Structure 1
Amino acid sequence: MKEQIITLLNTYENFAYLVSIIINVIISILGFVPSVFLTAANLAVFGFWKGTFLSFAGEAIGAIVSFVLYRKGFRKLSETKLFSHPKVRRLLDAKGLEAFFLVLSLRLLPLIPSGVVTFVAAIGKTSLLIFIIASSIGKIPALLLEAYSVYQLMNWTCQGKVVSTLLSVFLFIFTWKKINRKTAQTNKT
């Protein structure tokens, strides 16, 4: 996928920034498609700093557009039993400073899907302004880490190899713990 986006950005060189942002908005609206391949394409075409900034801008704009669309289309879902889990209810009911810090902290956690945070905040009581500020601030460190990791992997530097190894070990341990938890739960019943 990265190669197709690189080709698209190079083909429409005069509109490459806009094309990248539009793709990021679409990814944000879909909510479940990872943006790492777009970040990689942006880094390959525009370089590290311009590519990182463009990815940040695209993700921030995409989150705002998604928030507005989700709020208009799915607001009534917040009252369904589907969103009755206490941790989800906390974000749904959060306002003001609490909403700010919840969105910010959830953006900083790399394992929480961005689309889920946007969706739950949008159908809840979080204001658009609070969401924009918290979401954008929270995306900065997460995107810098993503861009740095992708850049190192693309160039296959020593640091890229370390990042790849650490990521592999982390995913292995995470998966192993999940499997062991399910096995323990199954054995209890």
Structure 2
Amino acid sequence: MSTYLQHFTDDLIGLNIGFLFIISITISIVISILGFLPSIFLTAFNISVFGLWAGIAISIVGESLGAIISFFLFRKGMQLAGVDRILTNKYFLKLKESSGKEWILLLFFFRIVPFVPSSVVTIAAAFSSISIFSFTAISSLGKIPSLLIEAFIVANLLDSKNGNGLLMLGAIVVGLVYFLYRLKNKRK
């Protein structure tokens, strides 16, 4: 870990660890509700502050709680920006048209694959007949492999000589893409 990140982490650890835990879980829930922000930066934060295994556990808890709360909000009919675009997404349509064991397998598969948008899966579940209990269990189990992959990538980046620069570059690229996306939508 670089000297700068180590000092930053040491300063954070000086804060109440319970407070950092609550902040991390809250940010994870917000990321899940918004549906367009990647969680990899929060996973990097969790690993650098809490350590590898505790950081992974906190990321899993946060993402699972975020998915449950998002599911509940979507199920109750909360109108979010971009929902009409999601309704035509191929993953959404496949999930919505499925039922029974096929739904369980698809939900688990889409949670495992890191590049399938989490919000699409959650919205599809909210529009289906799946119970919140089934959704919680399957979704949480499906998040574990994907978060493990993400966590080990982040851990290797944090340990590498150029890892902090790569994470910073990634954050800048994500921010720039989001800014351009919002700018394009405002013009329409």
TM-score (ref. length: structure 1): 0.70
Contact 1:107 1:139 in 2 (8 A): yes
Q: 2:177 corresponds to which residue? A: none
Within a 5 Å distance, the mapping from 1:1-189 to structure 2 comes to 11-74=15-78, 83=87, 88-156=92-160
Shift in Å at residue 93 of structure 1?
A: 3.3
Deviation at 1:11, TM superposition (A): 3.5
Q: Secondary structure at the match of 1:33?
A: coil
**For the residues of structure 2 that align with 1:11 and 1:85, how far apart are their CA atoms?**
42
Amino acid at match of 1:96: G
Cα deviation digits, residues 112-161 of structure 1 (max 9, x gap): 1111111111122222122111111111110000000000001107xx7x
Specify the alignment match of 1:170 in structure 2.
none
CA distance in 1, matches of 2:41, 2:21: 16
- Contact kept? 2:31, 2:66, Cα under 8 Å: yes
- 1:50 alignment partner, SS class: helix
Which residue identity is paired with 1:133? Answer: A
Structure number with larger C-alpha Rg:
1
1:186 aligned residue = none
Relative to 1, partners in 2 of residues 1:117 and 1:86: Cα closer, same or farther, differing over 3 Å? Answer: closer
The number of equivalent residue pairs is 153
Letter in 2 for 1:103: L
- Counterpart amino acid of residue 47 in structure 1: G
Which residue type is aligned with residue 21 of structure 1? I
Determine which structure has the larger helix proportion and give its number. 1
Q: Which runs of 5+ in 1 are unaligned?
A: 165-189
Deviation, structure 1 residue 89:
3.1
* 2:132 partner amino acid: L
RCO comparison, higher one (Cα < 8 Å, 6+): 2
**Partners of 1:87 and 1:145 in 2: CA distance:** 21
- SS state of the match for residue 68, structure 2? helix
How many percent identity over aligned positions? 41
Q: What's the Cα RMSD here?
A: 2.8
